[in-house]
A and B are shown apart, each in its own frame.
Chain A
Amino acid sequence: GQNIDQPTEMTATEGAIVQINCTYQTSGFNGLFWYQQHAGEAPTFLSYNVLDGLEEKGRFSSFLSRSKGYSYLLLKELQMKDSASYLCAVRDLFSGGYNKLIFGAGTRLAVHP
Chain B
Amino acid sequence: EAQVTQNPRYLITVTGKKLTVTCSQNMNHEYMSWYRQDPGLGLRQIYYSMNVEVTDKGDVPEGYKVSRKEKRNFPLILESPSPNQTSLYFCASNHRGQSTDTQYFGPGTRLTVL
Q: Is B105 an interface residue (CB 8 A)?
A: yes
Chain B residue with the shortest CB-CB distance to A40: B108
Residue from B41, B94, B104 within 8 A of A99 (CB atoms):
B94
Instruction: List residues of chain A with CB under 8 Å of any chain B CB.
Output: 4, 8, 30-31, 33, 40-45, 48, 50, 87, 89, 96-101, 103-106
* Chain A residues within 8 Å of B104, by CB: 45
**Are A100 and B45 also in contact (CB < 8 A) when A30-B99, A41-B108 are?**
yes
Q: How many residues of B contact A (CB 8 A)?
A: 30
CB within 8 Å of A: which residues of B? 31, 33, 35, 40-45, 48, 50, 56, 58-59, 88, 90, 94, 96-97, 99-108, 110
In the complex, the chain B residue whose C-beta lies closest to that of A89 is: B43
List 17 other contacts, CB 8 Å, given A97-B56, A99-B103. Answer: A41-B107, A44-B105, A48-B102, A50-B99, A87-B42, A87-B43, A96-B59, A97-B48, A97-B50, A98-B97, A99-B48, A99-B50, A100-B58, A101-B45, A104-B42, A105-B40, A105-B41
Q: Is the beta-carbon distance between A42 and B105 smaller than 8 angstroms?
A: yes
Which partner residue on chain B sits nearest A50 by CB separation? B99
- On whether the beta carbons of A43 and B43 are closer than 8 Å, the reply is yes
Complex CA gap A50/B104 in Å reads 19
Cβ contact of A48, chosen from B45, B100, B105, B107, cutoff 8 A? B100
Nearest-Cβ distance from residue A84 to partner chain B, whole angstroms = 14
CB atoms of A101 and B106 under 8 A apart: no
Determine whether the beta carbon of B100 is less than 8 Å from that of A99: no
B residues near A50, Cβ cutoff 8 Å: 99-100
Q: A103-B42, A105-B42 are in contact. Are A31 and B48 (CB under 8 A)?
A: no
Rounded to whole Å, the gap between the CB of A28 and the closest CB of chain B is 13
B105 touches A43 (CB 8 A): yes
Collect the chain A residues with CB atoms within 8 Å of residue B88's CB: 40
Q: Given A41-B107, A42-B90, does the pair A96, B99 have CB atoms closer than 8 Å?
A: no
Which residues on A sit within 8 Å (CB–CB) of B90? 42-43
- Give me 5 A-to-B residue pairs in the complex whose CB atoms sit less than 8 angstroms apart, sorted by A's number: A41-B107, A42-B90, A50-B100, A105-B40, A105-B42
Q: A72 vs B59: C-alpha distance in the bound complex, in angstroms?
A: 26
